[in-house]
Amino acid sequence: MFKDMNIQELLTEKFLRYAAIETQSRADVQEVPSTPGQWTLARLLMKEMQELGMEDVEISEHCVVTGHLPARLPEGHAPVPAVGWMAHLDTVDVAMSPEVHPRIIKNYQGGDICQNEEKQIYITVSEHPELLEHIGEDIIVSDGTSVLGADNKAAIANMMTALEVLKAHPEIPHGTIYYAFGPDEEVGLRGAKAMNYDKFPVDFAYTIDCCALGEVVYETFNAGSVTLHIRGVTAHPMSSKNNLVNPIMAAVDFINLLDRAETPEHTENKEGYIWVTGIRSDVLNCTVSMNIRDHSREGYQHKKDLLRSALEMIKLKHPKAEMSLEITDVYGNIYDAVRDDNRQCIDAIYRALEELEIEPKTIAMRGGTDGSYISTKGILTPNYFTGAHNFHSRCEFMPMVAVEKSCLTTLKLMDLAVRNSET
């Protein structure tokens, strides 16, 4: 398929160009986008989309890039669904450098990969035996001082390469294809929430935002963010007995009411959790930040109720303190949007993988995608693999054979939208 084009080479060239743009998002900035580099990447993508034949390409006030490729069908062809793809512009902030310096390991022959000789940083086979599945392949890694940013620039390269293939092969029919690139996915799916869906009038959509070859996701967490506010009472040590209320100690008492078995480090698969992600305090005011995650709506609601009950208990223990709890829903489970009359886009992923001879690996994602929000807008948006591994870590790596197969899956889904409309 497409033997006249070197898909891996196109993907590599595009990924390296996008990775060179610093787009790490910031949770502490409320403006969308949260960092200026996301504008830089958005403008580059707008230009490239126009050059590759997309129409009505524009960037919104919140840095969401949208555009569509008009249908190219034989005269008299049956209507074809409008299909969308969305990827995010930002890379995650995990307290590492926002600058990404990729390097290509040509024809990997096994063994540990040295990311940074000067700093002696390695990806080791003992910790990542999955490396050995890619002997003989080209692999892209970071220099160990940052994430690689395959999450989600591998998806951006995928989508843009698919456009280039369609432009180079005018004989390939396709329906109307919509693209969206949004900012700040890593800090609460802000781009998907800020998007004007009049610019994305699709029957269904896809994200490409998970890891290894063959992975398919249509179940994600229900997610919420929680902030506990505690205002204590200050007093000089000379008169502090029975007067001073230490907000830090009140926060500790609250946290100790949580079940240690229901934290991220003790859960897996579809087990939900409450994660204490930060504490900020002085002698008067303390805030505790938490995340709630659960695949089931019932489990998600139970965790909300548990936190509210814990607050009432702590109020009894510290009656002089002022306390309040903010709970904000961040995204929902894609699966809750699946119905018999719309799941054809999920079925198409499995058919695409079958035709490409890729073994599917269905997983319930312990996280969320832009599709977790888009699906709540009535547009079912499942997710499939980028081909990369170890997102959100310095050990992130891209085996280019798997990344190429992800791009071929994108092209196959475009093809299936046409072929399925003929039956």
Q: What does the DSSP 8-state code read for residue 321?
A: S
Q: 254 Cβ partners below 8 Å, 6+ apart? A: 228, 230, 288, 310, 311, 314
Query: Which residues is 216 bridged to in the sheet?
Result: 362, 384
Q: Which residue has the tokens 């240690």?
A: 260
Q: What's the one-letter identity of residue 132?
A: L
Q: 222 Cβ partners below 8 Å, 6+ apart? A: 292, 293, 294, 295, 296, 297, 299, 300, 329, 331, 332, 333
Contact of 98 with 186, CB cutoff 8 Å: no
Report the alpha-carbon distance of residue 322 to residue 66 in Å, rounded.
46
Catalytic residues: 90, 185
**Buried residues in 365-385 as b, exposed as e (16+ CB within 10 A):** bbebbbbbbbbbeebbbbbbb
Residue closest to 96 by CA, chosen among 22, 196, 205:
22
Report the alpha-carbon distance of residue 313 to residue 319 in Å, rounded.
10
Q: What does the DSSP 8-state code read for residue 185?
A: G
Query: Which residues is 230 bridged to in the sheet?
Result: 286, 323
